[in-house]
Amino acid sequence: MSFNSFSEFLSMGGHGLYVWLSYGLGAAILVANLVLPKLACNRLWIEQKRRLRREEEVR
């Protein structure tokens, strides 16, 4: 371990703001890239199933 206590870990030797800002941003971007396609997928499936059902009814 590079740090002796949790509070030391959080403060990062005074650079806490920068490190945690960067990692927070990194986490946000990575999560967004994983979650947004999944949401789009769900929306797509619901739409397409609805369209299929509509086309079946017309037939």
Pick the closer one to another protein by CB: 34 or 58.
34
Q: How far is CA 5 from the centre of its chain?
A: 29
Q: Report the residue from 4, 7, 44, 59 that binds another protein according to the rule CB under 8 A.
A: 44
4 near another protein (CB under 8 A):
no
Q: What residue type is assigned to position 29 of the chain?
A: I
Q: Kindly give, in sequence order, each residue whose CB lies less than 8 Å from that of residue 3, ignoring residues fewer than 6 positions away.
A: 9
Q: How far is residue 40's CA from residue 29's CA, in Å, rounded to a whole number?
A: 16
Q: Report the residue from 4, 34, 58, 59 that binds another protein according to the rule CB under 8 A.
A: 34
Give the shortest CB-24-to-another protein separation in angstroms.
Answer: 10
